């Protein structure tokens, strides 16, 4: 089914499309029919810069299963990285 749901989250960072980096300040996250991926539904994330008008986006579409794997990977990388940078790495 088509949904109108959009979860918006404020970000600090940058994203790269092809050769150019750009600042981003917002992600729009939704789960609906994808535009490109041959799935019935996909988790889509649009990275945009609302302060710059928000018209251009860097987009990804992911299967629900792999999106959840990505969430775990992000959490794991953050946990490990923060420990390492705090000098708490036991190795």
Partner 1 sequence: MSYLGMVTEVVPFAAHGGEAGQAYYARPTTQQTVGGVVLIHHMPGWDDWIQEATRKVAHFGFACIAPDLYFRERPGSPDDCAARARAKGGVSDDQVMGDVAGAMAFLRAQSNSNGKVGVMGFCSGGRHTYLAACRLKRIDAAVDCWGGRVIVEDPADITPARPVAPIELSAGISCPLLGIFGNDDPNPSPKQVNETEAVLKKLGKTYEFHRYDGAGHGFFAADRPAYRPEQATDAWRKVIDFLDRTIGPRARFA
| Residues at the interface with partner 1 (CB under 8 A) | 1-4, 6, 8, 28, 30, 32-36, 38-40, 44, 46, 54-57, 59
Minimum CB distance to partner 1 smaller for 24 or for 57: 57
Q: What is the DSSP letter of 88?
A: -
Nearest to 26 by CA among 4, 53, 3: 53
- The helix/strand/coil state of 51 is helix
Token pair of 25, please?
């300040």
The distance of closest approach from Cβ of residue 84 to partner 1 in the complex, given in angstroms and rounded to an integer, is: 36
User: Please, where are the H alpha helices in the chain?
Assistant: 64-85
The distance of closest approach from Cβ of residue 2 to partner 1 in the complex, given in angstroms and rounded to an integer, is: 3
Minimum CB distance to partner 1 smaller for 18 or for 90: 18
């Amino acid at each position: 089914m088509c949904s109108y749901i959009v979860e918006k989250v404020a970000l600090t960072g940058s994203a790269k499309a092809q050769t150019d980096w750009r600042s981003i300040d917002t992600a729009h996250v939704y789960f609906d029919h994808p535009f490109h991926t041959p799935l019935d539904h996909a988790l889509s994330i649009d990275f945009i810069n609302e302060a710059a008008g928000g018209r251009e986006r860097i987009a990804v579409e992911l299967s629900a299963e792999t999106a959840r794997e990505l969430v775990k990977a992000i959490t794991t990388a953050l946990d490990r990285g923060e420990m390492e940078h705090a000098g708490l790495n036991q190795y």
